[in-house]
Amino acid sequence: MRRLSRVVHVGPVAIGGGARVSVQSMLNKPSRDIEGNIAQALELERAGCDIVRVAVPDGEAVGLVAALKERCGAPIVADIHFDYQLALESLAAGADKIRINPGNIGGRDRVKAVADACRGRGVPIRIGVNSGSLEKELLEKYGSPTPEAMAESALNHARLLEAFDFHDIVISLKSSDVANTVRAYAILAGQCDYPLHVGVTEAGTQRMGVVKSSIGIGALLLRGIGDTIRVSLTAEPVEEVRAARDILRALGQGSGADVVSCPTCGRTKIDLAAMAHEVERRLEGCEKRVTVAVMGCAVNGPGEAREADIGLAGGDGCALLFRRGEVLRKAPEDRAVDELMEEIDRL
Ligand code: SF4
């Protein structure tokens, strides 16, 4: 069952409170490259990114926040470290959410200034705890950045905001260690009702990063924990969005088509890999919630894919089209994918 959290709003996107799990990613072009960042943000949106984050290391980047707000549709999160002035300036530039750790901006008056400005604009704050930058006192208390230490750090930051009656909070607890990440979120989930931004940080390059993120994010979502997700990859940001969308789809929480294909074996007489990739490509962006099976043989294919809404099973130079396990007709191999698509359109 999904953990029930309070809801916060990032522009038009709801996080928590039972809202669908949203997908985030982060721009990675230099701040001065306004056009490059805008093109990247639009590409992320097209791939299904619900919320776009941008680093704000200096005043120049505040101009980028304003440009993104003017020319992109997705809500923009300003990612800030230490400098509360940059948070205030980003808010004035239209940021829809601020990522900052209140304990790191120095002094209650600064925390109050950011909390008041966010409240005034209805903008939430994400507290982003990272195992690599845990407070000294907590490292001394726990000996290392344990999951318990990370959860305690997040609650300490949250208390600073709560002291100024600010509760529009999202929390993330990231570690590059998958097991620690899962444990930390599980602890925190039982200690507060704030929505959680879930991800495995510094997960690695595309292949390993997707594996780590799928395990970490997947384990949490299966336990009902997680309201917005970010897959963190050393790759183009659009790959993060694709991976996040695939994770949600694999858990039955995404929109669009789910392609099921068999691993092939000695019975396969068609180029199934090419067909499966082509079906996947053509269904990218498809909004229909449909399960499509692409199976290697007619002996086991329709039966194995009985749960699918529609599918094909390879024969010798042809494929059988079937719908919910019932055979529809035979199609020549070179027409099979086209005919499958026509049947999907008819569903
Ligand atoms: Fe082999 Fe047919 Fe099963 Fe695919 S569906 S793995 S080709 S038996």
Give the residue extent of every domain in the chain.
8-250, 258-346
Q: How far is CA 344 from CA 2, 48, 306, in A?
A: 31, 21, 16
Digit-coded pLDDT (tens) for 228-270: 999 999 999 999 999 999 999 999 888 788 899 999 999 999 9
What separation in Å is there between the alpha carbon of 265 and the centre of ligand 1? 6
Q: d(Cα 278, Cα 329) in Å, to the nearest integer?
A: 20
Cβ–ligand 1 contact at 28 (below 6 Å): no
Q: d(Cα 72, Cα 219) in Å, to the nearest integer?
A: 32
Cβ–ligand 1 contact at 252 (below 6 Å): no
Cβ–ligand 1 contact at 302 (below 6 Å): no
| Closest of 74, 90, 98 to residue 168, by C-alpha | 98
State which residues of the chain have pLDDT below 50.
none
What separation in Å is there between the alpha carbon of 307 and the centre of ligand 1? 16
The pLDDT of residue 125 is 97
Give the CATH fold of the 8-250 domain.
Answer: TIM Barrel (3.20.20)
Q: How many CA atoms lie within 13 A of 15 on its CB side?
A: 32
Residue labelled with tokens 């930390």: 184
What separation in Å is there between the alpha carbon of 313 and the centre of ligand 1? 9
Cβ–ligand 1 contact at 315 (below 6 Å): no
Digit-coded pLDDT (tens) for 29-65: 999 999 999 999 999 999 999 999 999 999 999 999 9
Q: How far is CA 212 from CA 25, 202, 230, 239, 243, in A?
A: 16, 10, 12, 14, 11
How many other C-beta atoms lie within 10 A of the C-beta of residue 108? 11
**This prediction's pTM:** 0.91
The pLDDT of residue 300 is 74
CATH of 258-346, one of 3.40.190.10, 3.30.413.10, 3.40.50.720, 3.20.20.70: 3.30.413.10
